[in-house]
Amino acid sequence: MLDYILIQALNGLVIGVIYAVIAAGLTVIFSILKIVNFAHGEVYMMGGYFGFFAIALLGIPPFASVIVAMLLSFALSVLFERTLLTPLYSPTTERKGDYGILVTFGISILLRNLAIILFGPFPLRPPSFFSGSFSAGPILMSWDRIFAAGAGVVMLVGLLLFLSRSAWGQALNAVSQSRESAAIVGINDRLVYTLAFGLGGGLAGGAGALVGPIYALSPSMGLVPDTQAFAIVILGGMGSVGGSIIAGLLIGVSEGLFVALFPDPSRSLAYAQAFSLLVLMVVLLFRPTGFFGRAHAAME
Amino acid sequence: MRSGNLAGLGCILLVALVFPFLVDTYWQTVGILAIFYAIVAASWALLVGYAGQFSFGHMGFVSLGAYASALLVQWLAIPIPLGMAGAVVLSTIVGAGVGFICLRMRGPYLAIFTMAFSEVLRIVLLTENEVTGGAGGLEVAPLFHTRSNLPSYYLALGLLAASLGIMSLMVASRWGLFFRAIRENEQAAAAGGVRVVRFRVLVFAIASGFAGLAGTFYGPFIGILTPDIGSVDQMGIVVAMAMIGGAESLPAAVLGAFFVEWMYEALRAYGEWRLVIFGALLLLTMRFARNGLLALAWNQAVRVVPAWRRTQPAGGAAE
Chain B nearest CA to A276, separation (Å): 9
pLDDT value at position B105? 80
Say which of A95, A107, A277 has its CB closest to residue B116: A277
Write out pLDDT tens, residues B247-266. Answer: 888 889 999 999 999 998 88
Task: Give contacts of A102 with chain B, Cβ < 8 Å.
Answer: 239, 243, 282, 286
If phi over 0 gives left and psi between -120 and 50 gives alpha, with beta otherwise, what is residue A211? alpha
**CA A147, CA A149: separation in Å to the nearest integer?**
5
Query: What is the phi-psi region of residue B225: left when phi exceeds 0, alpha when psi lies from -120 to 50, beta otherwise?
Result: beta
Of A95, A98, A106, the CB nearest to B283: A106
**Beta-carbon count within 10 A of A295 CB:** 8
Which SS3 state, helix, strand or coil, does residue A90 take? coil
CB nearest B124 (choices: A95, A234, A274): A274
Confidence (pLDDT) at A295: 43
Please count the residues of chain B: 319
Q: Which amino acid is at B248?
A: E
- Give dist(CA B94, CA B113) in Å, integer: 14
pLDDT per position as a tens digit, B98-144: 999 888 787 888 888 899 899 899 989 988 888 888 888 888 888 88
Check CB contact under 8 Å for A117 and B282: no
* Sequence-ordered list of residues with C-beta below 8 angstroms from that of B172, at least 6 positions apart, any chain: none
Interface-testing mutation among A30, A98, A235, with chain B (most B C-beta atoms within 10 A)? A98
Nearest Cα to B288, choosing from A72, A24, A103, A266?
A103
Cross-chain Cβ contact A274/B56 below 8 Å: no
A133-136 and A139-142 beta bridge pairing: antiparallel
Cβ burial, residue A60 (10 Å; 0-12/13-18/19+): middle
ipTM value, please give it. 0.85
Q: Which helix (H) or strand (E) holds A49?
A: helix A40-58
Secondary structure letter of residue A135 according to DSSP: E
Q: Which long-range contacts (CB under 8 A, 24 or more apart) does B162-169 make?
A: B163/B39, B163/B42, B163/B43, B163/B210, B163/B213, B164/B39, B164/B42, B164/B250, B164/B251, B164/B254, B167/B42, B167/B43, B167/B46, B167/B206, B167/B210, B167/B250, B168/B250, B168/B251, B168/B315
- Classified as helix, coil or strand, A24 is helix
In one-letter notation, the amino acid at residue A119 is F
Say if the Cβ atoms of B286 and A106 lie within 8 Å: yes
Amino acid at B289: A
pLDDT, tens digit (0-9, with 9 covering 90-100), for B166-191: 999 999 999 999 999 998 888 898 89
| Element housing A61 (H / E) | none
Give the helix ranges, DSSP H, for A120-217: 143-165, 167-177, 179-184, 189-211
pLDDT, tens digit, for every residue of A168-227? 988 988 888 888 888 888 888 889 999 999 999 999 999 999 988 888 888 888 887 787
In this prediction the pTM is 0.88
Q: CB A143: neighbour CB atoms within 10 A? A: 16
Mean pLDDT value of segment B187-212: 92
- Given this model, what pLDDT does residue A293 score? 55
Residues B59-76, buried b or exposed e (16+ Cβ, 10 A)?
bbbbbbbbbbbbbbbeee
Write the single-letter amino acid at A261.
L
Residue A69: Cβ within 10 Å count: 32
* Spatial separation of the C-alpha atoms in residues A245 and A212, rounded to whole Å: 21
Mean pLDDT of chain B: 87
Please name the helix (run of DSSP H) or strand (run of DSSP E) that holds residue A134, with its range, or none.
strand A133-136
All residues of chain B having their beta carbon less than 8 Å from the beta carbon of residue A84 are 283, 286-287
Contact B294, B314 (CB under 8 A): yes
Inter-chain touch B119–A277, beta carbons under 8 Å: yes
Report chain B residues whose CB lies below 8 A from the CB of A108. Answer: 232, 236
CA distance B32 to B159: 11
In this complex, how many residue pairs, one in chain A and one in chain B, have their CB atoms less than 8 Å apart?
118
**With contacts defined as CB-CB under 8 Å, which chain A residues touch B117?**
281
- Cβ distance A299 to B123 less than 8 Å, yes or no, reads no
Minimal Cβ distance to A113: which of B104, B119, B279: B279
Give whole-number Cα distances, B38 to B100, B138, B175, in Å.
26, 24, 22
DSSP for chain B reads: --HHHHHHHHHHHHHHHHHHHHS-HHHHHHHHHHHHHHHHHHHHIIIIIIT----S-HHHHHHHHHHHHHHHHHHH---HHHHHHHHHHHHHHHHHHHHHHTTT--HHHHHHHHHHHHHHHHHHHHH-HHHH-GGG-EE---SS-SS-SHHHHHHHHHHHHHHHHHHHHHHHSHHHHHHHHHHH-HHHHHHTT--HHHHHHHHHHHHHHHHHHHHHHHHHHHSEE-GGGGSHHHHHHHHHHHHHH-TTSHHHHHHHHHHHHHHHHHTGGGTTHHHHHHHHHHHHHHHH-TT-HHHHHHHHHHHH-GGGGGSPSTT----
Give the integer Cα–Cα distance in Å for A96 and A105: 14
Please give the distance of CA B312 from its chain centroid, rounded to a whole number.
23
β-partners of residue A134 are A141
Residue type, A80: F
User: Are A281 and B120 an interchain contact pair (Cβ–Cβ within 8 Å)?
Assistant: yes
The 8 Å CB, 24+ separation contacts for B79-84 are: B80/B141, B80/B143, B80/B220, B81/B143, B83/B216, B84/B213, B84/B216, B84/B217
Interface residue ranges in chain A relative to chain B, Cβ cutoff 8 Å: 35-36, 38, 83-84, 87, 95, 97-103, 105-110, 112-114, 116-117, 223, 227, 230, 234, 267, 270-271, 273-274, 277-278, 280-281, 284-285, 288, 299-300
Contact between B119 and A35 using a beta-carbon 8 Å cutoff? no
Q: Residues in chain B whose beta carbon is closer than 8 A to a beta carbon of chain A? A: 52, 54, 56, 101, 104-105, 107-109, 111-113, 115-117, 119-120, 123-124, 126-127, 232-233, 236, 239-240, 243, 272-273, 275-276, 278-280, 282-283, 286-287, 290
The verdict on a CB contact (< 8 Å) between B282 and A106 is yes
Name the closest residue on chain A to residue B126, using Cα atoms. Answer: A270
Residue A272 confidence (pLDDT): 79
**Do residues A255 and A275 lie in contact, with contact meaning Cβ atoms separated by under 8 Å?**
yes
pLDDT, tens digit only, all 300 positions of chain A? 777 788 878 888 888 888 889 988 998 998 888 888 999 999 999 999 999 999 988 888 888 899 999 999 999 999 999 999 888 888 877 778 888 888 999 999 999 999 999 998 888 888 888 877 787 777 777 888 888 889 999 999 999 899 888 999 889 888 888 888 888 888 888 899 999 999 999 999 999 999 888 888 888 888 877 878 888 888 877 767 778 788 888 888 888 888 888 877 777 777 877 887 888 888 888 877 666 655 434 443
Flag if A36 and B286 touch (Cβ within 8 Å).
no
CA nearest to B47, candidates B234, B250, B279, B245: B250
Cα dist. B292→B90, B146, B239, B247, B283 in Å? 32, 39, 12, 7, 11
For residue B291, the number of C-alpha atoms closer than 13 Å in the C-beta half-sphere is 13
Find the residue in A nearest to B113 (Cα): A281
